[in-house]
Amino acid sequence: MSSTLIRNLTISDAASALDAMRATRPLVQNITNYVAMTISANVLLAVGASPAMVHAVEEVDEFVAISNALVINVGTLSPLWIEGMQRAAKQAVALGKPWVLDPVGCGATKFRTDFAVEMSRAGPAIIRGNASEIMSLAGAAGAGGKGVDSTASSDAALKAGKALALASGAIVAITGETDYVTDGTQVVAITGGSALMPLSTALGCALSATVAAFAAVRPPFEAAVAAIAVYGAAGAAAATRVTGPGHLPAELCDALHAVDADMIARYATIRVVEEVNV
Ligand SMILES: Nc1ncnc2c1ncn2[C@@H]1O[C@H](COP(=O)(O)OP(=O)(O)O)[C@@H](O)[C@H]1O
Ligand SMILES: Cc1ncsc1CCOP(=O)(O)O
Ligand SMILES: [Mg+2]
What is the spatial order of strands in the sheet that 187-191 belongs to? 50-53, 27-31, 69-73, 99-102, 126-130, 171-175, 179-182, 187-191, 269-274
**Residue 203 CB less than 6 A away from ligand 1:** yes
For residue range 223-255, what is the model confidence (pLDDT) as tens digits?
999 999 999 999 999 999 999 999 999 999 999
CB atoms within 10 A of CB 271: 13
Per-residue pLDDT band at 2 (split at 50, 70, 90): very low
- pTM (2 d.p.): 0.97
| pLDDT for 8 | 84
**Residue 33 CB less than 6 A away from ligand 1:** no
In Å, how far are 25, 146, 159, 241 from 214, measured between CA atoms?
Answer: 10, 29, 25, 26
* 131 Cα–ligand 1 center, Å: 10
Quote the crossing angle between the two packed helices 203-215 and 220-239, to the nearest 10°. Answer: 140
Per-residue pLDDT band at 108 (split at 50, 70, 90): very high
Phi (first) and psi of residue 130, to 5 degrees: -80, 175
| Interatomic CA distance for residues 114 and 9, integer angstroms | 34
For residue range 175-194, what is the model confidence (pLDDT) as tens digits?
999 999 999 999 999 999 99
Query: Is the pLDDT score of 275 beyond 70?
Result: no
| Mean pLDDT computed over 263-276 | 91
| Interatomic CA distance for residues 229 and 250, integer angstroms | 19
| Mean pLDDT computed over 110-115 | 98
| pLDDT for 32 | 98
**Residue 148 CB less than 6 A away from ligand 2:** yes
For residue range 131-160, what is the model confidence (pLDDT) as tens digits?
999 999 999 999 999 999 999 999 999 999
What is the biggest distance separating any 2 CA atoms in the chain, rounded to whole angstroms? Answer: 48
Ligand 2 pocket: which of 149, 175, 205, 210 to mutate (most atoms within 8 A of CB): 205
Each domain of the chain, given as residue ranges in start order, spans 3-272
**Residue 201 CB less than 6 A away from ligand 2:** yes
In Å, how far are 59, 93, 187, 228, 249 from 174, measured between CA atoms?
Answer: 31, 23, 11, 10, 21
Closest ligand, as measured to the CA of 229: 1
* 4 Cα–ligand 3 center, Å: 30
Q: Provide the strand spans (E) within the chain.
A: 27-31, 50-53, 69-73, 99-102, 126-130, 171-175, 179-182, 187-191, 269-274
Q: Which protein residue's CA is at the shortest distance from atom 12 of ligand 1?
A: 197
CATH of domain 3-272: 3.40.1190.20
CA atoms within 13 A on the CB side of 116: 29
- The ipTM (two decimal places) reads 0.99
Residues in contact with 220: Cβ distance below 8 Å, sequence separation at least 6, in sequence order: 98, 125, 126, 170, 171
Q: Which protein residue's CA is at the shortest distance from atom 10 of ligand 2?
A: 202
**Residue 220 CB less than 6 A away from ligand 1:** no
